[in-house]
Chain A
Amino acid sequence: MDPIPAFDEILAGARAGEAQAFERLWRAFHPALGRYFRVAAPDAAEDLASETWLQSARDIRRFRGDEHAFRRWLFTIARHRLLDHQRKQRRDKTDPVPHDSLPESADTADLVEERLSTAQALALIRTLPPAQAEAVALRVVAGLPVADVARLLGKRPGAVRVLTSRGLRALADHLERLRLRDPNHEDAST
């Protein structure tokens, strides 16, 4: 993830309540935030992203730090919103709404040729057990290092590494099964 030019100025503008500064922050971080929620809570991704942004806007005057700290701060808020949402779901006993079609028919040729869409990639990550999926999403989508993910998830860095590693292995197995199911897998593998 490329560093945001003049991040400090943008942050100062956002603290002063400038719409343009918030727009630039939103452009820089919203795609990652949205993708994280599309993995962790696809049924409420948009709502949770909005709540996260509103909370960050309300608290931005209290934030101190650089771009990396802001990313960590934003995703900490995001995870809190996610936990609230999951708690509410358990209380209301509502089943998650099915989201994007899972890539049961992911075209192996697309994978090889890297024409996989972001939505398909996120849907593939979502097939993992929730803890693994979240760890992978925070590493890959949010771009957070192990230490930050560990702090966010309340785990040790070693546990996060194990989660991620197992998640990637499971993803590899899943993709292999898809490839074998693909009638053109012989062609695709060549």
Chain B
Amino acid sequence: MPKHRDDRDPTEELLAGTLPSDATPAYDRVAAVLRAAGGPPSDSELAGAETAGIRLAAAARRSEGSTRRGMGMSGMWRGIRAKVPNVVLGVIIGMMVGGGAFAVAQTVGNHGGPNPRFHDARVCNLVDVDTLPGNWTHGDYVSAVEKKDPSKVREAAQSDCGKPNKGAKGNKGKGPKPEKSNEPEGKPTTPATKKPSPPPSPTPSPSETVTSSPSPEPSPTEPTPATTPSVPST
């Protein structure tokens, strides 16, 4: 056993295999135990060394292979960085960023989005809708009415003007919201199909107007469907 700097300690001397001068006979026996515990290896302890060497070498080689195979994401990134020159990588990243910016610019530039909206000038007649920009929204319409005649804001807000037509995606595509009923929430409602259908009429009833998308050509005289005032959308 290699000697250490603290070998002068009796315990350290004992551990090192030497008996301290002032040791009692009991420690003589302890020293014998420690010598036996740290003694040279027996044949049985060394049996199978050759097999162990072969197995450990195989394990080391397997580990080497798996380390090279299983690089993981960081290893893959390092590999790509090593192979792709910085200039090429810069161009690729630039194209990705530029493409994203272009897409954003396209979306922003198309005011009101790509979906068709209810823009009937005969219904939306509180202002001259031809002056509103592009695919103008309900918010645009209400704002324009407010500027022209603030007293008609409520009427404008309750109209479907500028709202997305039926068939568009998302909540906006569902068209104008139906009129709020006073029934308590959760109460089962009778399906619309089971309602006794009113006699055929050349003009749609208000309820039909609410549940369906704005008719392309509603009568200017019929009452506008009551909707919840929505936050002006952009």
Q: Is A61's CB within 8 Å of the partner chain B?
A: yes
Contact A175 B30 (CB under 8 A): yes
From B15, B45, B52, B62, contact of A139 by CB (8 A): B15
Interface of B is mostly: helix
Which residues of chain B are near A60, meaning CB under 8 Å?
60
* B2 proximity list for chain A (CB < 8 A): 1, 68, 143, 145
- 4 further A-B contacts with Cβ under 8 Å, apart from A35-B45, A172-B27, A175-B33, are A57-B57, A57-B60, A121-B33, A168-B11
Interface residues of A (CB under 8 A from B): 1, 14-15, 17-27, 30-31, 34-35, 53-54, 56-61, 68, 108, 111-112, 114, 116-118, 120-122, 124-125, 136-137, 139-141, 143, 145-146, 161, 164-165, 168, 171-173, 175-176, 179, 189
- Within 8 Å of chain A (Cβ to Cβ): is B61? yes
Which residues of B sit under 8 angstroms from A124, Cβ to Cβ? Answer: 33
Interface check B63, CB cutoff 8 A = yes
Q: Establish whether residues B37 and A26, one from each chain, have CB atoms under 8 Å apart when the complex forms.
A: no
> For residue B14, which residues in chain A have a CB less than 8 angstroms away from its CB?
168
Residues of A within 8 A of B64 (CB): 17, 61
B-chain residues with CB within 8 Å of residue A122 when the two chains form the complex: 37
Closest Cβ of chain B to A185, distance in Å, is: 11
Chain A binding site: helix, strand, loop or mixed by DSSP?
helix
One of A21, A27, A68, A121 near B46 (C-beta < 8 A): A27
Quick check: A114 and B35 within 8 Å, CB to CB? Answer: yes
B58 / chain A contacts, CB cutoff of 8 Å? 17, 19
User: Contact between A22 and B25 (Cβ–Cβ < 8 Å)?
Assistant: no
Residues of B within 8 A of A35 (CB): 37, 45
Q: Which residues of B contact A137 (CB under 8 A)?
A: 37
Tell me if B9 is interfacial: C-beta within 8 Å of chain A: yes
Complex-state Cα separation, A117 to B36, whole angstroms = 6
A-B contact pairs, 25 of them (CB 8 A): A19-B50, A19-B56, A19-B57, A19-B58, A20-B53, A22-B57, A23-B52, A23-B54, A24-B53, A26-B49, A31-B45, A31-B46, A53-B56, A58-B62, A61-B63, A116-B33, A117-B36, A121-B34, A143-B2, A146-B6, A161-B6, A161-B9, A168-B15, A168-B34, A175-B26
